[in-house]
Amino acid sequence: MIRVLVVDDDKLVRKGLIAAMPWQECGMEVAGEAANGMKALEFLEAHPVDLVLTDLAMPVMTGIELIREVRRRGLPVHMAVLTLHQDFEYIQEALRLGAIDYIAKVQLETERFEEVLGRIAARIREVQAGQPAGEPDAGRGEGQGADCGAAFLTLLPDADAAWLPGLLAGAGEAPDAPQLQELERGLWLWQPAAGADAEAEAALARVAEQWRRQRPAPGWALLELAGLRLSGPGEVQRALREYKDHCLFRDMRQDGRLPGPFCPAEWAARGMESAGEPETPAGGVSAGRPAEPWLSPEWIHSTARYAELKQRLAASRMAPAALYALLYTLAGSWGRFYREVAGLDIRPPAGMVYRYEAMQWLDEIRAEVRQAMDRSAHSEEVVEAVMKSVHFIHEELGGEMTAQEAARRVHMSRSHFSECFKAIVGCTFNEYLRKARMAKAEEYLIHTDKPVQWIAEKTGYLDEKYFRRTFREVTGLLPSEYRQARRQGGAVSADGGDK
C-alpha cells in the first residue's frame, strides 16, 4: 500500500479529502495529516510515508518550503501538490523541485477522485519499479518514455508532413513509430527512444540543431517539450492542440522556432489563462478604433513612434480575423492617402497565416512609402505637413474644412501651403477636398440606404441641391441614379452611362 500524508492548513479540507478520496481502490492508505509544513516534517521523521499530498499556501511553512526541505534532508518520499487554480507560478516551482503531480482544487469533483488518485499511484509505482527506493526524482524506468520531446505544428490548411522522417533521420533518430506520431492534421509529436534523461535531451538537441540547419518546411514550427511524464498521452495531446489553436498564430517566428520548452502539465495548470485573456486593442486606443494611431503619418517619419506602434500591436491579443481586418482597413486608408501623395498603390497582404507576417507587411509598406517620399523635391517636414492635411480631409469630411484652416493646423502660410499641396498631391486643396467628398458620397450610396440629404451632410454639404449638382458634375448622374445603376451591377462611366 502507498502510505499518504495529507498536509493542508484548512482542517475542513483535510478531513474532506481523507473522507472522500477512494484511497483503498487506488492502493493507498492515509498514514496521517498535518496543518503545515513544519508539522509535516515532524511526522515524516517519525513515520514511514510514500506520498505527501500538500497544499502550497500555508502558514509557518509553505508547501514549496516543505518540498525543498524534504529534498534537502533526502527523505525517501514522493511529493504531489494540492493547489488553487491561480497558483500557476507555485506549481511551476513545485514541478521543478521534483513534485510528481499536482491537483487543482477546482478538479476535485466526486467523479474525478478515482482518476486523480489513480494517476498519482500509477506514477509512483512506475518510479518505484525503475529505480532504487529513496530516489523519487532521480532516473526514470525504461518503460515510461522520455521526459522531453518535440512537437511539429502548422496552421497551413494544406499541411504536408512528408519531410518529417527525413528531418529525424538527418539527426540520427529513428523516423518511425512509436517515436513519431500524428496527433491530428498539422500536429505531430516526437519523443526520443526510452532511456536515460541525458540521452533523451541529447537526442532532442540533435533534432533541434537539424531543424535549424535544414528548416525543411516553411510554415511549420518546432516546439521543444519538457515534463512529458507529468501528463498522460491524452493530456499531452489536449495541451498541444489548445496551444496550436490559441497561441501558434502569435508565437510563430520567421525561423519556425517557438518559445519553450513547453510543459503540458504547466499549460493545464494555467487552465488556458494565457490563451483566454481578453483581446487588447492594437495601438493602445479604444477597441472600436484600433486603426486610429496608424492613420497619422507620424509612423512613417518617426522610427521611435513606429517601433512603439509595432510593439503595441505585437502585445495585443488580436485574433487572426481581427488583425487581418485591421490591416485591410489600413491598406484602404493608406492606399487613398499615399496614392495621391506618393503615387503608391497599397494593397492588404494577400494571405496571412501568422502574426509575424503582419509585421513584415508593415515593414515593407513603410519602406515603400519612405522611398517614394524621398524622391519628393520638398523637404520631409513639408511633405509630412501636406500628408497631415490630407489626413484631416478624410477624417473630417463632414466639417467645414478650408485651405486656410488646414494651413494653420500644419503651421504654414496659406500661400506656401497651397503651392506645396498642389505640387505634392497634383491638384489644389479644394479640388482634392471635392474629390474626397464625392468618393465618400459614392461609398454611402452604394453601401447604405441612407437618404441623399443625410449623405450630403455627412460629406460636408449643408445644401442638398448644391450637393446634387456637384455630384452630377463629377459622376454625370444624380445621386439616386448613381445608386440605382451601381446596385444593378453596372460600372458608372464619367459621362453618365452604364458599361
pLDDT digits (tens, 9 = 90+) for 418-449: 988 887 777 889 988 998 889 889 889 988 88
d(CA 8, CA 250) in angstroms, rounded, equals: 39
- Identify the band that residue 136 occupies on the pLDDT scale cut at 50, 70 and 90: very low
Q: CA dihedral defined by 166, 168, 174, 178, rounded to 10 degrees?
A: -100
Instruction: Look up cell 495529516; give the residue.
Output: 33
| Amino acid at the residue 490 | G
Three-state DSSP class for residue 257:
strand
Confidence of residue 131 (pLDDT cuts 50, 70, 90): very low
- H helices within 111-232, ranges in order? 113-130, 164-170, 197-214
Widest pairwise Cα distance in the chain: 101
**pLDDT confidence tier of residue 270, bands split at 50, 70 and 90:** low
pLDDT of residue 418: 92
pLDDT average, residue stretch 179-201: 82
**pLDDT beyond 70 at 275:** no
* Domain boundaries defined on the chain: 2-130, 143-274, 292-429, 431-487
Q: Which pLDDT band, with edges at 50, 70 and 90, does 43 fall under?
A: very high
pLDDT at 87 (0 to 100): 56
Q: For the domain 2-130, what is the CATH code? A: 3.40.50.2300
Q: Give residue 220's pLDDT band: very low, low, confident or very high (50, 70, 90).
A: very high
C-alpha closest to that of 471 among 499, 498, 444, 490: 444
The residue ranking higher by pLDDT, 345 or 70, is 70
**Where is mean pLDDT largest: 42-56, 137-151, 161-175, 323-337?**
42-56
Kindly state the percentage of the chain with pLDDT values over 90. Answer: 22
Confidence grade of residue 111 (pLDDT, cut at 50, 70, 90): very low
Reply yes or no on whether the pLDDT at 195 is more than 70: no
Instruction: Quickly state the pLDDT bin for 107 (edges 50, 70, 90).
Output: low
CA distance 126 to 135: 13
Section 177-187 average pLDDT: 79
Query: Tell me, what amino acid is at 212?
Result: R
Distance CA 343, CA 223 (A): 43
DSSP summary character for residue 140: -
Burial of 489 (0-12, 13-18, 19+ CB in 10 A): exposed
| Model pLDDT, residue 454 | 95
**pLDDT for res 496:** 41
What the block records as the C-alpha cell of 180 is 513519431
CA 39 to chain CA centroid, Å, is 44
Q: Is the pLDDT of residue 494 over 50?
A: no
On the question of a cis peptide bond just before residue 76, with omega within 30 degrees of 0, the verdict is no
- Please report the pLDDT score of residue 132 as a whole number: 39
Same fold, 2-130 and 431-487: no
Q: Which residues contact 409 (CB under 8 A, 6 or more apart)?
A: 388, 389, 392
pLDDT in tens, 376-426: 667 777 877 887 888 788 888 888 889 999 999 989 999 999 988 887 777
What's the pLDDT at 137?
Answer: 39
Q: Could you read off the pLDDT of 305-318 as tens digits, one per residue?
A: 889 888 888 887 78
Fold of the 431-487 domain: Arc Repressor Mutant, subunit A (1.10.10)
Residue 5: pLDDT band (50, 70, 90) is: very high
What's the whole-number mean pLDDT along residues 6-31? 88
Read off the pTM: 0.53
Q: Residue 329: pLDDT band by 50, 70, 90 thresholds?
A: confident
